[in-house]
């Protein structure tokens, strides 16, 4: 697969890889995808005063899935939840110049983020 | 050691320098058309083609007149299947093949299904092996052809060709064998194995791309597929088109070299692939060999690495050129149908890599490959949430394929 330089940059040096404590009330966890389909992203966000102060991810998937995950974490770090929600898969796929056949990887990143935000909102309500 | 290390010999091989040398004059000085039998240019080319025909025949225990030159194994497979179907269609319209065959077989059979033929696709077990009883049971009074490969291109598993040949002969059904991956690596003898049609390709055996051959038995029984390409009546009318004399000379030489070195070369390659398998299975947890350990080509190793994805593995080791069964590396995003047929789970297929070695592979390269693979799997697992779950003993709690997932090429 011919990838853009930006994809290779993130793939070779992925940002914010790791996990956060799932039991921390300020940490939201989101997962998206399935092993059978070839990509799974698990995203952890730590939220203080409505702002994402820390973020980590783990991704099972191809090169573009890992690059999309890494870029997403860079984009949302320091943002408020509202700002983060506005980041679309399109922005990620355009910035990485993903091949058409790999665009679903950016969708995975967006969906994992939505799922993590839902998780933190649920935690806060309870 | 030259980098990257090439371990994709099942995809294609470099032309052996001795083969190239043999071919070169036929591009320039001896450029004649082998069909121009009335002048020196033509007869020179014609003689070279005759010699090559004999060299190909020798490698598979055939006679020179039973060899038809083609553009490669895909064409040979097309002539064998479509040509037999058309010629003997009035005897019956049933063909037997297997789900793990190459696409050149499967797609040709699908095409014939649209034309009113019936095809039985035999399954395989988890090792990729055929059940001969299933084959026997599938043969009907209207079966005209059995097409089964000698060795699988993805996992290297061997089919029991001799036994298949015996069953086919006993039932009076033609047996076509796609031996593209097997020729030059394991002994193939069309008489001993009762093969009636056989496909082979030059570029898998250190010859040039764009040339191959079809063996079609001349007697006991005689099989005459109809032509796919019509034109000047070359190759006894079975394959028209000016003969690719440099390519054919290359194929002949490649076959001759294989015949000379096969026993020694295959023993050496088997040692190297055993080493690769043993070291990987010995050092990397959750790694497994796909395909039967005993009945396999000496040079093809398909390994599955759970919890990681094949493209990522390959991208983490650009110094190693291999192939993946993962959906993510194919243009269609379809996971390997061969591994699926063997019952390998989809998520394990994604982490499968094929290592195929050959004439120029060294032990140093195997050592280097093992190092690369270990590092790459380690790096990919450090990123994988599935691996975390596995080592923590958590069970899988992920959903189904996403709506925007594979198969959905245009998701905007």
pLDDT tens per residue across span B66-80: 999 999 999 999 999
- CA distance readout (Å), B198 to A57, A68, B164, B401: 52, 47, 13, 41
Q: Quote ipTM for the complex.
A: 0.94
A99 has a chain B CB within 8 A of its CB = no
Task: Specify whether B167 is located in the same domain as B40.
Answer: yes
Closest by CA to B308, choosing from B267, B361, B351, is B351
Closest by CA to B59, choosing from B196, B265, B259, is B259
Task: Specify whether B318 is located in the same domain as B178.
Answer: no
CB B94 within 8 A of CB B144: yes
What are the b/e assignments for B353-384, b being 16+ CB within 10 Å? bbbbbbbebeeebbebbbebbbebbebbbebb
- What domain range is B298 assigned to? 5-9+262-391
Q: Which of B225, B258, B291 is the last residue of a domain?
A: B258
Give the pLDDT confidence of B304-334 residue by residue, as tens digits.
Answer: 999 999 999 999 999 999 998 776 666 666 7
Tell me, yes or no, whether B403 lies in a domain. Answer: no
Q: Is the pLDDT of residue A23 over 50?
A: yes
Burial class (CB in 10 A: 0-12, 13-18, 19+), B43: middle
CATH number at residue B220: 3.40.640.10
Give the pLDDT confidence of B10-30 residue by residue, as tens digits.
Answer: 999 999 999 999 999 999 999
Q: Which of A4, A20, A36 is the mutation pick for testing B, counting most B CBs within 10 A?
A: A36
Task: Specify whether B246 is located in the same domain as B331.
Answer: no
Query: DSSP code of B256?
Result: H
Tell me, yes or no, whether B203 lies in a domain. Answer: yes
* Calpha distance A55→B182 (Å, rounded): 52
Tell me, yes or no, whether B407 lies in a domain. Answer: no
Q: Which of B258, B290, B312 is the last residue of a domain?
A: B258
Tell me, yes or no, whether B408 lies in a domain. Answer: no
User: Looking at residue B407, what is its pLDDT?
Assistant: 34
Task: Specify whether B253 is located in the same domain as B269.
Answer: no
CB contact under 8 A, A62 and B312: yes
- CA distance readout (Å), B333 to A6, B208, B316, B338, B398: 22, 29, 20, 15, 20
Q: Which residues of B touch A90 (CB under 8 A)?
A: 412
A103 has a chain B CB within 8 A of its CB = yes
User: Looking at residue A123, what is its pLDDT?
Assistant: 92
A16: left (phi over 0), alpha (psi -120 to 50) or beta: left
Token pair 């553009």: residue = B71
User: H/E element holding A53?
Assistant: strand A51-60
Task: Specify whether B77 is located in the same domain as B207.
Answer: yes
Q: Is the pLDDT of residue B338 over 60?
A: yes
Tell me, yes or no, whether B220 lies in a domain. Answer: yes
* Options B177, B328, B401, B408, the catalytic residue: B328
Task: Specify whether B216 is located in the same domain as B267.
Answer: no
Query: DSSP code of B158?
Result: B
Q: How many CB atoms lie within 10 A of CB B157?
A: 27
* Calpha distance B152→B335 (Å, rounded): 16
User: Looking at residue B333, what is its pLDDT?
Assistant: 63
Query: DSSP code of B340?
Result: H
Closest by CA to B348, choosing from B324, B330, B314, is B324
Can you give the pTM of this predicted structure? 0.93
Task: Specify whether B166 is located in the same domain as B283.
Answer: no
Q: Which of A40, A60, A63, A88 is the mutation pick for testing B, counting most B CBs within 10 A?
A: A60
In percent, the amount of chain B with pLDDT more than 90 equals: 90
A63: left (phi over 0), alpha (psi -120 to 50) or beta: alpha
Taking the CA of residue A15 and the nearest CA in chain B, the distance in Å comes to: 11
Task: Specify whether B242 is located in the same domain as B332.
Answer: no
- List the single residue in B312, B398, B404 with the smallest CB-CB distance to A35: B398
B153 has a chain A CB within 8 A of its CB = no
A86 has a chain B CB within 8 A of its CB = no
- CA distance readout (Å), B376 to A45, A83, B147, B293, B307: 27, 36, 39, 24, 13
Tell me, yes or no, whether B35 lies in a domain. Answer: yes
Helix, strand or coil, per DSSP, at residue B83: helix
User: Looking at residue B383, what is its pLDDT?
Assistant: 97
* Calpha distance B259→B205 (Å, rounded): 11
Tell me, yes or no, whether B281 lies in a domain. Answer: yes
A33 has a chain B CB within 8 A of its CB = yes
* Calpha distance B48→B30 (Å, rounded): 10
Q: What are phi and psi of B68, to 5 degrees?
A: -115, 125
CB contact under 8 A, A36 and B386: no
B364 Cβ partners below 8 Å, 6+ apart?
B1
Give the pLDDT confidence of A36-57 residue by residue, as tens digits.
Answer: 888 999 999 999 999 999 999 9
Task: Specify whether B172 is located in the same domain as B40.
Answer: yes
Q: Which residues of A touch B350 (CB under 8 A)?
A: 35, 38
- List the single residue in A19, A58, A101 with the smallest CB-CB distance to B409: A101
CB B238 within 8 A of CB B227: yes
| Residue A59: closest C-alpha in chain B | B384
Residues of A classed as catalytic:
37, 105
Give the pLDDT confidence of B84-142 residue by residue, as tens digits.
Answer: 999 999 999 999 999 999 999 999 999 999 999 999 999 999 999 999 999 999 999 99
Task: Specify whether B240 is located in the same domain as B367.
Answer: no
CATH number at residue B293: 3.90.1150.10
* CA atoms within 13 Å, Cβ hemisphere of A60: 29
Q: Which of B326, B404, B406, B409 is the mutation pick for testing A, counting most A CBs within 10 A?
A: B404
Tell me, yes or no, whether B410 lies in a domain. Answer: no
User: Looking at residue B329, what is its pLDDT?
Assistant: 61
Distance, C-alpha B241 to centroid of its chain: 25
Q: Which of B258, B286, B310 is the last residue of a domain?
A: B258
Structure tokens at A25: 């009330």
Task: Specify whether B244 is located in the same domain as B349.
Answer: no
pLDDT mean over B50-56:
98
CB contact under 8 A, B383 and A66: yes
B391 has a chain A CB within 8 A of its CB = no
Give the count of domains, chain B.
2
A19 has a chain B CB within 8 A of its CB = yes
- List the single residue in B315, B335, B404 with the smallest CB-CB distance to A104: B404
Task: Specify whether B150 is located in the same domain as B246.
Answer: yes
* Calpha distance B125→A118 (Å, rounded): 44
Give the pLDDT confidence of B170-208 residue by residue, as tens digits.
Answer: 999 999 999 999 999 999 999 999 999 999 999 999 999
């Amino acid at each position: 697969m011919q990838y853009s330089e930006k994809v290779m940059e993130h793939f070779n040096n992925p940002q914010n890889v790791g996990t956060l404590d799932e039991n921390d009330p300020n940490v939201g966890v989101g997962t998206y995808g399935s092993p059978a389909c070839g990509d799974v992203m698990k995203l952890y966000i730590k939220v203080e005063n409505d702002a994402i102060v820390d973020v980590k991810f783990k991704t099972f998937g191809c090169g573009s899935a890992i690059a999309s995950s890494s870029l997403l974490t860079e984009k949302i770090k320091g943002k408020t939840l509202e700002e983060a929600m506005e980041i679309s898969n399109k922005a990620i796929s355009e910035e990485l110049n993903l091949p058409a056949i790999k665009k679903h990887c950016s969708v995975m990143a967006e969906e994992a983020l939505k799922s993590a935000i839902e998780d933190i909102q649920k935690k806060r309500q309870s | 050691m030259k980098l990257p290390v090439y371990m994709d010999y099942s995809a294609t091989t470099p032309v052996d320098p001795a083969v190239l040398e043999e071919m070169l004059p036929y591009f320039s000085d001896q450029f004649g058309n082998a069909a121009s039998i009335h002048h020196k240019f033509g007869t020179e080319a014609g003689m070279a083609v005759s010699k090559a025909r004999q060299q190909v025949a020798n490698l598979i225990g055939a006679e020179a007149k039973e060899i038809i030159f083609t553009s490669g194994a895909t064409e040979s497979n097309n002539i064998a299947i479509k040509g037999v179907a058309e010629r003997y269609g009035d005897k019956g319209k049933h063909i037997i093949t297997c789900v793990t065959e190459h696409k050149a077989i499967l797609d040709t059979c699908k095409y014939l299904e649209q034309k009113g033929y019936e095809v039985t696709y035999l399954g395989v077990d988890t090792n990729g092996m055929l059940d001969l009883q299933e084959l026997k049971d599938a043969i009907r009074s209207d079966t005209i052809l059995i097409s089964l490969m000698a060795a699988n291109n993805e996992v290297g598993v061997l089919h029991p060709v001799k036994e298949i040949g015996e069953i086919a002969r006993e039932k009076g059904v033609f047996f076509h064998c796609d031996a593209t991956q097997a020729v030059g690596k394991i002994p193939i003898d069309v008489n001993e194995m009762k093969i009636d049609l056989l496909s082979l390709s030059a570029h898998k055996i250190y010859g040039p791309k764009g040339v191959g051959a079809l063996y079609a038995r001349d007697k006991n029984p005689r099989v005459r597929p109809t032509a796919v390409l019509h034109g000047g009546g070359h190759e006894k009318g079975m394959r028209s088109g000016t003969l690719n004399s440099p390519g054919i000379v290359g194929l002949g030489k490649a076959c001759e070299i294989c015949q000379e070195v096969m026993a020694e070369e295959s023993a050496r390659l088997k040692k190297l692939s055993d080493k690769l398998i043993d070291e990987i299975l010995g050092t990397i947890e959750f790694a497994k060999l796909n395909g039967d350990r005993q009945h396999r080509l000496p040079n093809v190793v398909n390994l599955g690495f759970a919890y990681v994805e094949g493209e990522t593995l390959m991208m983490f080791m650009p110094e190693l050129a291999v192939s993946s069964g993962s959906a993510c590396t194919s243009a269609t995003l379809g996971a390997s149908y061969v591994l699926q047929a063997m019952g390998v789970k989809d998520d394990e297929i994604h982490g499968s890599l094929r290592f195929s070695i050959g004439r120029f592979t060294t032990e140093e390269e195997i050592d280097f490959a093992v190092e690369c693979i270990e590092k790459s799997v380690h790096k990919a697992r450090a990123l994988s949430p599935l691996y975390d779950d596995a080592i923590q003993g958590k069970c899988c709690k992920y959903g189904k394929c996403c709506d925007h997932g594979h198969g959905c090429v245009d998701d905007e």
